[in-house]
Amino acid sequence: MSISVRDEGAVRVVRIDRPEKKNALTLVMYEALAKALADASANAECRAVVLVGHPGVFTAGNDIGDFLQNPPSGEDSPVFRFLLALVDFDKPIIAAVDGAAVGVGTTMLLHCDVVIASTRAKFSMPFVNLGLVPEGASSLLVPQIAGRATASYWLMTGEAFDSDSALRTGMISHVFDAEELEARAMKIAETIAAKPPEAMKITKDLLRAPVRAAVKETLSREGALFIARLTAPETIAAFTSFMTRR
């Protein structure tokens, strides 16, 4: 299924687990991620979730072959259901990014509570390069977090940025060496998991409530435009070029 889930005490570790394809996300993987969040929410023993990829790659974003063969068609699509599940998730989620976090790999982080990265992390939102438009409420949240000038630069050039830039702009909270990244994520999760869970839940809700309605409205607006762009000739050309580049 390419998503693996394991529990370490009160911490549930959800791993994107398709290293041979740089953890590119398929429909089945989005479904598994949404299910992992639903299960974690329903399980009283689980007090925090750690979201990780593989050493050297967080995720290369949406599987481009899937974009061509099984494009999302509406808000019932697995990718939207996953993003909504993330927005509505009611327990702390700590993301640890090592290597590439492309497209939704970066935008999903906007909905995580604590984001840490390794010194070799590379974030990018290259939607425009592919004929696409921002998704994951990035057109709202990236300007809010990093400022409009930086958000426009990233979203209009598609250029990747490193952990130092991510830290400086507030996209992440800490940078660690790759070798210690997951252990650090576990330590943060354990610290959070040991706090009173009701107060934690309210704290998360207070931090997210001021923008929740706007986030959902932006997800929908971006989603409709994104879906329309998936069949645009310039988009099909970019996808085909990636799939046939060798």
**For binding to ligand COA (CB under 6 A), which residues are involved?**
21-22, 24, 60-65, 100, 102-103, 126-127, 130, 132
Nearer to ligand COA (CB atom), residue 92 or residue 105: 105
* CB 100 to ligand COA: min, Å: 4
* CB 55 to ligand COA: min, Å: 13
Among residues 127, 141, 154, the alpha carbon closest in space to that of 230 is found at: 127
Nearer to ligand COA (CB atom), residue 30 or residue 46: 30
* CB 28 to ligand COA: min, Å: 14
For ligand COA, which residue has the nearest CB?
103
* CB 124 to ligand COA: min, Å: 8
DSSP the chain: --EEEEEETTEEEEEE--GGGTTPBPHHHHHHHHHHHHHHHH-TT--EEEEE-BTTEEE--B-HHHHHHS---STTSHHHHHHHHHHH--S-EEEEE-SEEETHHHHGGGGSSEEEEETT-EEE--TGGGT----TTHHHHHHHHH-HHHHHHHHHH---EEHHHHHHTTS-SEEE-HHHHHHHHHHHHHHHHTS-HHHHHHHHHHHHHHHHHHHHHHHHHHHHHHHHHTTSHHHHHHHHHHHT--
The number of residues in the chain equals: 246
Nearer to ligand COA (CB atom), residue 63 or residue 98: 63
* CB 8 to ligand COA: min, Å: 28
Nearer to ligand COA (CB atom), residue 63 or residue 113: 63
* CB 244 to ligand COA: min, Å: 10
In the chain, the N- to C-terminal Cα span, in Å, equals: 27
Nearer to ligand COA (CB atom), residue 51 or residue 200: 51
Nearer to ligand COA (CB atom), residue 28 or residue 38: 28
Give the Cα separation of 148 and 160 in Å (integer): 17
* CB 222 to ligand COA: min, Å: 12
Give the Cα separation of 185 and 97 in Å (integer): 10
Nearer to ligand COA (CB atom), residue 106 or residue 150: 106
